Structure 1
Amino acid sequence: METCTACGARLGPGPACPACGRPVEAPDLSDWRTDTAERPAVKDVPPAPRFPLYADEAPAPTPPGPSGRRRGWLPWVAGAAALVLVAALGAALLLGGSDDEPAPAPVAESAEPSAPPTSTAPTTPPQPTRASGGDLRRKPEPREPEDVTGSVSVRVPATAPPSQGLDGSRTAYDAGNLVDGDRTTTWRMRGDGAGSQLVLQLDGPTTVTRLGLVNGYAKRARGPRGGVLDWYTGNRRVLAVEWVLDDGTAIRQPLDEVRRVQAVDVGSITTRRVRLRLVEVSSPGSGRAGRDYTAISELAVVGLPG
C-alpha cells in the first residue's frame, strides 16, 4: 500500500492524498522493462493455488525446541486417556447392572470324551529278586514239550537170547534197544507176551504229554539168496497196550500193524514212572522169517522235565 510523501498518510484510489490534499504523482513506467529501471510493486497478486483447493492454509511448522516436542505428544496422551475413560465407563455399566452373581461362562461340549487324568508320578518297574548267590532270578520263558526218551531207563519182564545175524554178527535183544532211536534193533521175549508189563523210569518228575511205541520188530533185510526177510511180520506184534501213570491214570491204546511210531496224547500229567502193559499180541509169523517172539522196536516219551 502506497503512502503520501508529504504527510505519510495511506493513499486511496483518488488522485490526491485524502489527508493533506496533495496530488499524487503517477509513477513513470516508461522504462520499467529495462534492466536498470526500478520495477514497480505488483498490487493484489492472487496467491498460488493450494492443494486441496478447499483446505485451509496449513499451520506454520512448530519451531524446534522443548515446547514444540511437548505439543507433539500431548494430543496422543489426551486421546489415550479418553479411550481409558470410555472403557472404564463401559465396564461399570456392564458389571453394575445387577446385584446377582454373574452366570458362569458356557463351556463348549467336546465331541470326544475327555481322557481320564493320568498320574505324573514316576513308576518304578518291578525289580527281579536276587538270590543268595548274587544272581538275578528271572521269570523263565515258557517251554515246549520235548522228547525225553533218551533219559528213560526200562525194566522188562524177560529177554530172548541173542542170535546170529545174516552177516554172522551177534544180535542182542536187550531193553536198551527200546530207547536207542534205531528201529532196526528190538527188544523181544519168547512166546506170547500178553499180560506182561514194562516199567519206564524217568530221569525225574516229568510232565508227560505223549507216549508211543513201534509195536514189533521193524527190521527188513535181503537174504543170501536174494529174498527179502521181514522180521516185522515174522515175529509177534503188539496189538493193544495200556499206559499207567503214578497218579493212577490208565490210557488204553489200540495199535495198527505198521512199522512207524504210534503215539497217544495223555494230557499233562506229572509222573516219575510209566507202566506199559501188553494187552493183546498177534500170533507168530510163518515161513523162513517166522519166530515165536513178542517184539517192540522203540518207545517214545514226550514231556517237560523238572
Structure 2
Amino acid sequence: MTYCTTCGHQIALGQFCHQCGAPIAEPVTEPIAEPPLVAPVGGGAASTAVREPATAGLTSAAPTAPITPLPTGPLPPAARYPLYATEHASPATTEQTAERAAVPPTPTTASTPRGRRRAWWIGGVAALVVTGAGAVGAVRLVGGQEGPSPLGAAAGSVREGSEDAAGGDSPAPTEDLTPLVTTVQVPGTAPDSADARTGEPVTFGSQNLTDGDESTAWRVAGDASGSSLVIDLGREVELREVGLVNGYAKSYPGYDGYRANRRVSAVRWTFDDGSSVVQRLDEDRSMQAIGIDTVRTERVVLEILRTAAPGGRNFTAISELRLGGADG
C-alpha cells in the first residue's frame, strides 16, 4: 500500500493524492544481483564456493527517495468527491464534517427569495380581504341603513330614496296620497256585526280601507288568497311608497280582532305600466309600508298572495291602506 509523502493519506490508485492533491513520487527499487552458477573444469563436481559478483563496468543504481514515516494520531477525514488536483482540503475536522452532513441547514421561509415572495403574496391577499370587508361594511352602512318611513312605516321596513324632478341629490318630499283614493273595488264584503260593548253595528265595507281609522276594517269571509283589490286615485300621481295594516286591528278587553281573524302575510302591488312589487308582512298590527321605485300611475291593484290561519274567526281583514308619493 502507498501513502502520500506530503499528508500521509493512504493512496490506492492515481498520480495525485486524493486528500491534498500533491503528486505521488514513483518508488524506485534496486535490482538484486543473483550469483551465477559456475560449472567445474574438466567435468568435475561443482564447486561449492561462493563466487563474488563482478562489479566492474556496472554503474551504481539511482538513490532511493526518502520514505516519510507514517503519521500518528487520528486518521485524516475521508476523501471528498469529486476532487481535483487543484482543490485544497478543508481544514474542518471529521466531527464537524459529519455534523454538517447529518444536519443540513434548513432555510426559513422568510429568509429565502421564494419564501419572501410567498410571504408577500399572502400579505397582499390578506390586505385585499380586509379592504373588501371594509368596503362591504361601508356600503351596508351608507346604502342599507333602515329607518322609519315618513308615512309611519313599521320599524324594519326598507324605503328607497328618489331624486327630485330637478335632478338634485336630496329626495323629494313624500306626501300621503291615500285621501286622493276615489274608490276601492273589493272581491266581497262580510256581513255587518255588532260591538259587544255598546251594541252598535259594525260594518266591513271598502270605505274602511281609507278612512284613517285603524279600528275599522274591510273584511271578507274565508281565505282571500288569490283575490285582488283595485284602488283608483282619480288621476295620475307619482307613487313612491305603498303599505297596509294587514289584519283587523281593533281590540278591547276580551276581544282581539287581529288574532281572531286571518292576517294577510304577502301581497303584490301592480301599477299602470305593468311593473309590480311583492311585499311580505309580519305579525304586526301597525302600518307596514315599503319604499318602491318611483312610478307614475292612476290605479293600483293589490293582490292577496297568502294569509295566516285565524284564531277563531275565519275572515280575511285589512284595516287600512297607505299610498305615498307626489300629486301631479
- Normalising by structure 2, report the TM-score: 0.47
User: What SS is found at the alignment partner of 1:252?
Assistant: strand
Q: What is the Cα deviation at residue 143 of structure 1? A: 5.7
Given the alignment of the two structures, is residue 207 of structure 1 paired with residue 238 of structure 2, yes or no? yes
In the alignment, the residues of structure 2 paired with residue 282 and residue 255 of structure 1 have an alpha-carbon distance, to the nearest angstrom, of: 10
User: What SS is found at the alignment partner of 1:177?
Assistant: helix
Counterpart code for 2:256: D
In the alignment, the residues of structure 2 paired with residue 149 and residue 284 of structure 1 have an alpha-carbon distance, to the nearest angstrom, of: 28
Tell me the equivalent position of 2:268.
Answer: 242
Q: Structure 2 residue aligned with 1:161, among 153, 167, 191? A: 191
In the alignment, the residues of structure 1 paired with residue 191 and residue 231 of structure 2 have an alpha-carbon distance, to the nearest angstrom, of: 22
Unaligned runs of 5+ in 1: 1-138, 223-227
Tell me the equivalent position of 1:145.
Answer: 174
Counterpart code for 1:149: T
Counterpart code for 1:155: Q
Q: What is the Cα deviation at residue 203 of structure 1? A: 2.5
Q: Structure 2 residue aligned with 1:218, among 230, 242, 249? A: 249
In the alignment, the residues of structure 1 paired with residue 187 and residue 222 of structure 2 have an alpha-carbon distance, to the nearest angstrom, of: 12
Tell me the equivalent position of 2:316.
Answer: 294
Tell me the equivalent position of 2:64.
Answer: none
Q: Structure 1 residue aligned with 2:219, among 185, 188, 191? A: 188
In the alignment, the residues of structure 1 paired with residue 292 and residue 275 of structure 2 have an alpha-carbon distance, to the nearest angstrom, of: 9
Q: What is the Cα deviation at residue 242 of structure 1? A: 0.4
Matched ranges for 1:249-264 at <5 A: 249-264=275-290
Unaligned runs of 5+ in 2: 1-165
Matched ranges for 1:12-51 at <5 A: none
User: What SS is found at the alignment partner of 1:253?
Assistant: strand
Given the alignment of the two structures, is residue 273 of structure 1 paired with residue 299 of structure 2, yes or no? yes
Matched ranges for 1:70-109 at <5 A: none
Structure 1 runs (4+) deviating above 3 angstroms are none
In the alignment, the residues of structure 2 paired with residue 229 and residue 197 of structure 1 have an alpha-carbon distance, to the nearest angstrom, of: 28
In the alignment, the residues of structure 2 paired with residue 274 and residue 151 of structure 1 have an alpha-carbon distance, to the nearest angstrom, of: 13
User: What SS is found at the alignment partner of 2:258?
Assistant: helix
Counterpart code for 2:326: L
Aligned length: 158
